[in-house]
Structure 1
Amino acid sequence: MKLRTLGSSDLHLTPLGFGAWAAGGPWKFGWGAQDDDASVAAIHRALELGINWIDTAAIYGLGHSEEVVARALAEWKGDRPYVFTKCSMVWDATGNVDYAYTEKSIRAEVEASLRRLKTDVIDLYQMHWPDDDMAGTLEGWAAMAKLKDEGKVRYIGASNFNVEEMTEAGEIAELTSLQPPYSLLARDVEADALPYCEANQIGVINYSPMGSGLFTGAMTRERLAGLAADDWRKNNPNFQEPKLTTHLAIADRLREVGARHGQSAGATAIAWCRRQNAITACIVGARAAEQVDGFIGAMDYTLTPADITYIESGRQD
């Protein structure tokens, strides 16, 4: 297994990182109820199998995901992994979610994240979403740059930024990384963001490489119908017709290709993402330890050109 350097940093990442979105449990964009013990077991299994970084966010479960990550690391006996988190999404006492980019808000967020994560420094601090107003985005980015200068965070990165936003932010302070959605159902970044990052030595850690569960090989219409009412996927168009039939057909092809390599459909979906040289590593979530076993093969798994053609089009070129 070869480690890859994230952008121009000294962070050397395994090809997969553990994504702790679901560990937050119920909230506006949550995955439904989640058992903390199961989350800790999943994190530990990922670390046992060699994963060396965890990605979370303050907003996941309104702070709860960071607390679960802290608990998992306190109980972990091995080397400490890198820990990445995010800012700019905030909530009030009643759980209403909003966005904030002022220096005061960013500073309050980092202090809260440091406290919940029980650490003195965050390895990578990312702006979760840019503001609709570029001035707001840049104010928040400048605040993050100060936190780096002060040693509260080691590096700063952007999540869900486009090329224009990365360019303007980069004039204030260097971007170490971009975190975009990228999978067989979210390919927009191929056109410009990935080439831009590759040309400018910006690392890329993509989220939802398995299509938020659609491409694990375990998703069926029956399972979709049984999703919890507070699972964000319940009303997402990608999980409904007319798109659903197309996506499940892709999952079938991933399962076929994976079987030829002794791998799962999920690992194959991740390997499809990793074929892009601009992708430094993929963020992969798990709600139970056995789910980690299902995708860990993607750590060292290369698809052939024929595999890629079949996955994308169903053709046997």
Structure 2
Amino acid sequence: MRSRPFGRTGRNLGEIGFGAWAIGAAWGKVDDRASVAALHAALEAGLDFIDTADVYGDGHSERLIARVLNERGGARPFVATKAGRRLPAQTVEGYSAENLEGWIDRSLRNLDTDCLDLVQLHCPPTEAYYRPEVFERMERLAGCGKLRHYGVSVERVEEALKAIEYPGVASVQIIYNMFRLRPAELLFREARRRGVALIVRVPLASGLLSGKFGADTRFEADDHRRFNRHGEAFDVGETFAGVPYEVGLAAVEKLRPLVPEGATMAQLALRWILMDEAVSVVIPGARNRQQALGNLAAAELPALPAATMEAVARIYDQDIRPYVHQRW
């Protein structure tokens, strides 16, 4: 798998990573044996970037990752985690020095390490990006040796553009996929100009872009694709990228003929993201060995032809843009 520079950190990392939300919670029943197998298979295949958060299964995802890394021994991959969503209500005041250090100490224990590779503020309130003291606190924690780098995970392009004005912000994580094109308009250019790494999450629009769902697909009660369908629990943009389910299904059928021979729709969706050189790493989730290896295989696809890129843009403009473009 090809590596890309991870911003100005001095690290080069594989362009496809492992998104570890689904092995923690909120995607239906979690099967730890399958999760462990998925992580082992991906690492065996050369994966070197894992993204998690302290709230994924209340730390279960972090602890599972530590278990696998300890079983394997040797050099560890780059592990990014997040902090902030443990607050009962999202307020800027909640991102106090005491809370930040407490969350980071907990992740250090969960991941069984002395220093975290990357800690991302986990979709804090928009106001937080306009409060320099929040970023100064992260800078101090980095200076204490608890983390090597810090960044942000954002909901909105506006938040990302503000965050990268802070010189210590090493990375931005944002939703970008064939149903969410806006980040590439300005943010990607600005992040690349400033040497900020870009982590792309929700690359398959919560599975919609796998092409495996239909109108009759049913999701478990503890799956966010059911309980957050309309933003009941957190930002609706995290579920199906904010696209109404039926609208997304119809657009997927228009995208289906674009899938290269021998590839899957999910692999097309991942390869499409990697066509933009501003992307540092894309983090699809995987709940079993087959999914993990299928994700990594997307990097082996040849560059997509201009006709495919134009067709995706056309479908977005016609079917998706009115629902998402100005919202995030």
Q: Do Structure 1 and Structure 2 share a fold, with TM-score over 0.5?
A: yes
| CA distance in structure 1 between the partners assigned to 2:252 and 2:306 by the alignment | 18
Taking a change above 3 Å as real, the CA distance of residues 84 and 242 of structure 1, as seen in their structure-2 partners, is closer
In the alignment, residue 47 of structure 2 is paired with which amino acid? Answer: I
Please tell me whether the aligned partners of residues 145 and 173 of structure 1 are also in contact (alpha carbons under 8 angstroms): no
1:159 aligned partner: 153
Please give the per-residue CA displacement for 1:110-162, whole angstroms capped at 9, x wherever unaligned.
10000000001111111111324337853332111111112211111111065
Deviation at 1:241, TM superposition (A): 12
Q: Describe the SS at the equivalent of 1:157.
A: strand
1:199 aligned partner: 193
| CA distance in structure 1 between the partners assigned to 2:82 and 2:242 by the alignment | 33
Please tell me whether the aligned partners of residues 209 and 269 of structure 1 are also in contact (alpha carbons under 8 angstroms): yes
**Structure 2, unpaired ranges of 5+:** 231-238, 317-328
Please give the per-residue CA displacement for 1:198-250, whole angstroms capped at 9, x wherever unaligned.
22111101101111111112222232xx2011211114256699933442244
1:209 aligned partner: 203
In the alignment, residue 219 of structure 1 is paired with which amino acid? Answer: F
Please tell me whether the aligned partners of residues 215 and 265 of structure 1 are also in contact (alpha carbons under 8 angstroms): yes
Could you tell which deviates more after superposition, 69-78 or 47-56?
69-78
2:270 aligned partner: 270
Please tell me whether the aligned partners of residues 102 and 136 of structure 1 are also in contact (alpha carbons under 8 angstroms): no
1:41 matches 2:41:
no
Please give the per-residue CA displacement for 1:61-120, whole angstroms capped at 9, x wherever unaligned.
1111111111121222564211110111115xxxx5656310110000110000000001
1:227 matches 2:219:
yes
2:127 aligned partner: 133
In the alignment, residue 16 of structure 2 is paired with which amino acid? Answer: L
Taking a change above 3 Å as real, the CA distance of residues 306 and 288 of structure 1, as seen in their structure-2 partners, is same
TM-score, normalization by structure 2:
0.84
Please tell me whether the aligned partners of residues 205 and 283 of structure 1 are also in contact (alpha carbons under 8 angstroms): yes
Match runs of 1:226-305 below 5 Å: 226-234=218-226, 235-236=228-229, 243-260=244-261, 262-301=262-301, 302-305=303-306
| CA distance in structure 2 between the partners assigned to 1:197 and 1:133 by the alignment | 20
| CA distance in structure 1 between the partners assigned to 2:63 and 2:69 by the alignment | 10
In the alignment, residue 244 of structure 1 is paired with which amino acid? Answer: Y
**Structure 1, unpaired ranges of 5+:** none
Q: Describe the SS at the equivalent of 1:211.
A: coil
Taking a change above 3 Å as real, the CA distance of residues 268 and 169 of structure 1, as seen in their structure-2 partners, is closer
| CA distance in structure 2 between the partners assigned to 1:249 and 1:167 by the alignment | 32
| CA distance in structure 2 between the partners assigned to 1:7 and 1:276 by the alignment | 14
Q: Describe the SS at the equivalent of 1:285.
A: coil
TM-score, normalization by structure 1:
0.87
2:56 aligned partner: 60
Could you tell which deviates more after superposition, 161-170 or 9-18?
161-170
